[in-house]
Structure 1
Amino acid sequence: MATPPSASELRRAKYARRLPAELSELGGPVHGTVALPLPLHLAWSGLTEFDLDQPRLRMSCYRIVLAEGMYADLVEHLNRDLLRGIWPVLRTLISRDIRSVWEHAFADLAPDARAVA
């Protein structure tokens, strides 16, 4: 009899299904205000608008979109270059499951890739 998947494995599968094929698909803004859309499937509690020029608000926005966003949200609200730039700090603020899925899918986000770059 097969062992049922763990809660962590189920979460990782959920996050993996939402990923873009390549980081280049992340075409969101670099500056200005991001307003997370209705219905409130992304920011259902607290702020719904984030000024990307404010480091704390930028991190909050990216944390929310990574955790709650579907594929369309990821490609609309996240920016490839911005994500790569803030990843060393952002990776410490998100869940282990999200971090694992993104670093496994995109080698340039993995810690060893950044050390070489």
Structure 2
Amino acid sequence: MVQQSSFGATPSVADVLHERYAGRLPDALEDLAGPKHGTVGLPLHVVWSGLRTFDLDRPRQCMGLYRTVLAEGQRDDITRFLNRDLLLEQWPVMRTMISRHVRDAWESAFPELPRRAASAA
């Protein structure tokens, strides 16, 4: 239910979060030009505590980097650190490990992601 304020309808938290994540999306998955192998260090504005360097050749660390960048990265971070092929490869599992708001924004914009998840099931 949308609440009314003196300025009109107040957007729901879900709507605000969807817009936040949708505004960070690349124009196309092909814009994801990040590395496929090696070590990646994330800047402080993406990850401010804990592990900041990830080895993409170690599956758990690769998944951790992708989860972090999807949740905290801005558009430039997303295109710089994420790789299209790795995202598609990891999406069936990744989608269960990220927030609903992030997942919905990405799957709404890129129909190949939910198709990928469905074909892996």
TM-score with structure 1 setting the length: 0.92
CA, structure 1 residues 26+6, in 2 after alignment: closer, same or farther (shift >3 Å)?
same
The corresponding residue for 1:69 is 73
Deviation at 1:8, TM superposition (A): 1.2
Instruction: Describe the SS at the equivalent of 1:18.
Output: coil
What is the aligned-residue identity percentage? 54
TM-score, normalised with respect to structure 2:
0.89
CA distance in 1, matches of 2:96, 2:49: 22
Letter paired with 2:58: Q
Q: In the aligned structure 2, how far is the partner of 1:69 from the partner of 1:62?
A: 10
Aligned-partner residue type, residue 54 of structure 2: F
- Map of 1:14 onto structure 2: 20
Q: Tell me which amino acid in the other structure corresponds to 1:58.
A: C
Q: How does 1:77-88 map to 2 (within 5 A)?
A: 77-88=81-92
CA distance in 2, matches of 1:41, 1:10: 21
Amino acid in structure 2 at the alignment position of 1:100: D
* Equivalent residues, number: 113
Q: 1:105 aligns with which of 99, 102, 109?
A: 109
Q: CA deviation at 1:3?
A: 2.7
AA in 1 matched with 2:32? L
Bigger-Rg structure (1/2)? 2
Deviation of 1:14 after TM superposition, in Å, equals 0.5
1:50 aligned residue? 54
Please give the secondary structure, in 2, of the residue aligned with 1:34: strand
SS of residue in 1 equivalent to 2:23: helix
Runs of 4+ in 1 over 4 A off after TM superposition: none
